[in-house]
Structure 1
Amino acid sequence: MKLPLALDGAALEADLRRIEARDWTRHVVRQNYRGDWDVLPLRHAAGETHPIRQAMPVPGAIAHVDSPLLAGASYIGSVLTKLRCSLRNVRLMRLTAGSAILEHCDPGMNAESGLVRLHAPIRTGGRVSFRVNGTPVVMAPGELWYLRLSDPHAVDNDDAVDRVHLVIDAEVNDWLEAMLAAGQ
């Protein structure tokens, strides 16, 4: 569902251009994709120094800290401050042209469990297909989406451009519940 919080797609793209030359970390769950799916951590579990552990949610982690990369993405930082809820992992996720995320489920990633994964597309193409429960979800830069990713979902990037989303793991509170209730 699209949330009622408009973002500046051009400013997101500008932040991406400033930091995208950094070293991305390959997604560790390799059985869930074909091709290249990479992560650039912007916020991660406190105390984690290994790139893989910074790139992925760490079970049981309570405290989270901004990574130094976030300082180079001032607009993304301002977006995060607009989210009046506790944030856990925040990362850029890149699915390269011709790659696919195979159908899978992310257990516990739904509002009922108290933890949601929000998506803000930054760069995408017309031949990217994101599906949840087999239903296409068309997302555009400048939009913020809640997707119930504990349900089966998959992505095909049949476009010539890499698809990059800002992905935010957020704890559900009254503010976020109101955003979800107002979403469409």
Structure 2
Amino acid sequence: MKLKHEFIQLPVRFDVAELQREVEAIPQDRWRAHHEGFKGNYSVPLISVEGKDNNEFKGPMAPTDILHRSPYLKQVISSFGEVIGRSRLMALDSGAEVPVHSDINYHWYKRVRIHVPITTTPDVRFHCGDKEVNMQAGDAWIFDSWKYHTVKNNSDVFRVHLVIDICGSSRFWELTERGNVPWLDPVSDDADFRFIAPHTDTDPAIRTETFNTPLVMTPGEMDGMAQELFAELHQGKGNAQQDVSAFIQRVEQFCQDWRVLWAQYGMSEAGWPHYHLLRETAYASVREYENRLTLGNGTQAPRMYLFCMIDPALNVEVAGQFATINANQADPGGAQPAGAQRDAVPEPHSRNAPCPCGSGQRYKTCHGKLA
């Protein structure tokens, strides 16, 4: 999510010793290597899809068994009073780093991540855009994940952060307005910070996300994402105006055709093959701009189109959550479109999962591939 500043320190603090005690109690075999293979990066799910040991984004979130056994971690997460998405403990080996990247996909475009450092030193540096900070243990921070960022552990400790992912209510954003931007407002008075003391004899309630991804993206949301994409595109440097105009026209055509399909099918299963083929065609139409159009943060424009609109527009793996879907509804359009047979292979819970066809490839590079 884009923020006003690269880093904002929230006006709350937590008990470092209690946090460290609960982290140390977690069995070593529960730390899992990063799902994309980043060397020296590990995590422990605390709130995950169905409360299981996974890194998924889509589906009903619930506390894991580790969180149920960690009362202060649970209290810290609950203290923000927000609806909580995927949240974890994240660790970096001594000398390891989080590779430079920007979070431009649908999940992150409107979500913010709260960092609560638990084990760290001044030699752990968080870089975002042209700014750099050290997040001290027990503090709470948010950062602009739209800009390119990285974390480097130049210390000899196993750095551990609690990360809490939320959309953010109006109350939360009011809290951020009382926060601290280090290079603008150096902290001078600890009285401005609220300390959350451990009350581990209670069981605080945590509200978690249930509907965090659309089965079929609505035309209104699709149009809204398109306007966000166009705004980012206009901030790009060095883009040829004729390329910008052509790209925008093709995205607008996709939105128009999506609205027509929605008017006919809504979320019904009969429309899924039609939606999927439209996605493939739409993305293929802009592939030529991958090295010609960039956004304000330096990312290629077709990447945002893919990750914020094309890919998240259809998520058949969450169909079970939408009780209004009639799986047996007849196709009001009659014959299936050419090529629709590709969708005979069911979409797995995650597009990164092995394709059910048995090819050994990930679904997103096999039957779920977007041309």
Q: Check whether TM > 0.5.
A: yes
CA separation in 1, counterparts of 2:103 and 2:61?
20
* Matches for 1:67-82 after TM superposition, within 5 Å: 67-82=64-79
Structure 1 vs Structure 2 CA RMSD: 2.0
Residue aligning to 1:16: 23
Question: 1:20/1:121 Cα in 2 relative to 1: closer, same or farther (>3 Å)?
Answer: farther
Amino acid at match of 1:98: G
CA separation in 1, counterparts of 2:147 and 2:12?
24
Higher mean displacement: 100-109 or 9-18: 100-109
Q: Cα distance, 1:25 vs. partner?
A: 1.2
Q: Cα distance, 1:29 vs. partner?
A: 2.1
Amino acid at match of 1:119: H
Question: Deviation digits for residues 50-69 of structure 1, max 9, x if unmatched?
Answer: x3xx2x242x43x2100000
Residue aligning to 1:105: 102
Residue aligning to 2:119: 123
Report if the CA contact (8 A) 2:123-2:134 is conserved: no
Unaligned runs of at least 5 residues, structure 2: 1-7, 181-371
Identity of aligned residues (%): 25
SS at match of 1:76: helix
Residue aligning to 2:305: none
Amino acid at match of 1:152: Y
Residue aligning to 2:41: 37
CA separation in 2, counterparts of 1:110 and 1:91?
16
1:84 paired with 2:81, answer yes
Residue aligning to 1:178: 174
Q: Cα distance, 1:108 vs. partner?
A: 5.4
Unaligned runs of at least 5 residues, structure 1: none
CA separation in 2, counterparts of 1:110 and 1:132?
19
Report if the CA contact (8 A) 2:47-2:85 is conserved: yes
CA separation in 1, counterparts of 2:83 and 2:118?
22
Amino acid at match of 1:36: G
Report if the CA contact (8 A) 1:7-1:142 is conserved: yes
CA separation in 2, counterparts of 1:140 and 1:109?
30
Report if the CA contact (8 A) 1:124-1:161 is conserved: yes
CA separation in 2, counterparts of 1:146 and 1:109?
18
CA separation in 1, counterparts of 2:101 and 2:126?
12
Structure 1 length as normaliser, TM-score? 0.86
Residue aligning to 1:134: 130
Amino acid at match of 1:122: I
Report if the CA contact (8 A) 1:109-1:148 is conserved: no
Question: 1:125/1:93 Cα in 2 relative to 1: closer, same or farther (>3 Å)?
Answer: same
SS at match of 1:19: coil
Question: Deviation digits for residues 116-158 of structure 1, max 9, x if unmatched?
Answer: 1110000012221110113112211110111111211111111
- Which gives a bigger RCO, structure 1 or 2 (Cα 8 Å, sep 6+)? 1
CA separation in 1, counterparts of 2:49 and 2:149?
25
